[in-house]
Amino acid sequence: MASAAEGDVGTVAELAKVLRFGFEELSLNKLATSLGASEQALRLIISIFMGYPLAVVYRRYLFFKDTYLIHLFHTFTGLSIAYFNFGNQLYHSLLCIVLQFLILRLMGRTVTAVLTTYCFQMAYLLAGYYYTATGNYDIKWTMPHCVLTLKLIGLAVDYFDGGKDQNSLSSEQQKYAIRGVPSLLEVAGFSYFYGAFLVGPQFSMNHYMKLVQGQLTDTPGKIPNSTIPALRRLSLGLVYLVGYTVLSPHITEDYLLTEDYENHPFWFRCMYMLLWGKFVLNKYVTCWLVTEGVCILTGLGFNGFDERGKAQWDACANMKVWLFETTPRFTGTIASFNINTNAWVARYFFRRLKFLGNKELSQGFSLLFLALWHGLHSGYLVCFQMEFLIVIVERQAASLIQESPALNRLASITVLQPFYYLVQQTIHWLFMGYSMTAFCLFTWDKWLKVYKSVYFLGHVFFLSLLFILPYVHKAMVPRKEKLKKMG
């Protein structure tokens, strides 16, 4: 009788569990549909915003507690977020974290450990891309894993630098070098920190350890006064989120592939590409602003004081919003967008290629690494190839205008400044949209179709300038200016 009763209770419990899970799936699915989003996108947004109550709990109950409790809190909450979004596939991150810890412990502070880390972590990520790839952008376990991959590679490089003579390191390398030996719990807490696990930002192990040791505060011995700065970034993120939600049904990359788009005049196709290119980046801006607010609230965003003694909270900033919205130059957009990832690539890849003795070659390899890090689709390679080309041409053009007396005088005419700005912004966002077309459409058959519809305008324009500008420079820059530059 007792065993039968226990069996009935177990069956009821299982049934209740299944029903509860079913209702959760149904309600999230319905809500996502009503918002015009996928269920995975809704789970992602919920998880990002969950960082705020978790940060409040951390500030209220854990800020000055024992470090092992904080590591446990970060590990547990990060794993919970991973399970909520990806279910049992959270084992991918867990496996890579444990294996990375073993690499550090077994191989030590050696070049072998760094090379093994680069090869293993990138190979695992690329294998994940290969086996989960579709023709569309899907939110799956590889999305946070690409963030984790950079974290673990950076960890290995910093650990390697920690074994070197301090005098042989640059000031930047000294700042990030890990002198101690991280425990598995520390590596897990660093990797699963809820404010950055899903979409970033990147930060170093040393910066994370300052957080758990209670050092990242503007008032030593007290919880940081970061609530207002955090709410400012959250509010700005919400503005972008509302704008993206309202406009996303009307400005889509899918329209670029329609016959209706192809049947419109050439000027319309270009203008739509311009508007779409400006708009499509807002989804990334939204996520990064919201997560930056979480990092600020915890204290991770603390970046010391400025010359006036005012606390700075931009250590985890992935966006310079004003620069992003106002710059008329491609290099300005690069400097204002995905800042921490760009800084990571500069620190752990670009500057480590000094032995090549060629800045352009180092930049080319860095962009190739970034393209592969994003995924295996051809569109990523085309996008970063365009970035490489555009940056070179933009530098050539800036140098020409600066060194040519005639062009410099023309560019300095005050009354024409608004006109110049308008032209620059039009070129800037048209070809930003052109580059993002390949990035967002992924496969060659899709982006090739759109590029054909605008006659490969971006490639024709910038490749032409690449070969023409040196001759223009030769003709318009006086010899004494060239000799001064060489001197």
Enzyme catalytic residues: 338, 374
Reference 127, options 142, 110, 148; nearest CA is 142
* Local structure of residue 319 (DSSP, 8 states): B
Reference 260, options 247, 272, 278; nearest CA is 272
The token pair that represents 344 in the structure block: 């990571």
- Cα(114)–Cα(392) distance, rounded to whole angstroms? 31
Reference 329, options 388, 407, 394; nearest CA is 394
The H or E element that residue 57 is part of is helix 51-57
Residue 319: φ, ψ to 5°: -140, 135
- Cα(314)–Cα(54) distance, rounded to whole angstroms? 20
The token pair that represents 445 in the structure block: 């058959």
Residue 180 Cα to chain centre, angstroms: 28
Structural contact between residues 96 and 146, judged by C-beta atoms closer than 8 angstroms: no
Structural contact between residues 60 and 53, judged by C-beta atoms closer than 8 angstroms: no
Q: What is the DSSP string of 343-397?
A: HHHIIIIIGGGGGG--HHHHHHHHHHHHHHHH-SSHHHHHHHHHHHHHHHHHHHH
Rg of the chain's alpha carbons, rounded to an integer? 25
The token pair that represents 195 in the structure block: 């404010």
Place of tokens 């990147």: 202
Place of tokens 């140098």: 399
Structural contact between residues 363 and 411, judged by C-beta atoms closer than 8 angstroms: no
Residues 6+ apart with CB under 8 A from 179: 162
Reference 314, options 229, 380, 420; nearest CA is 229
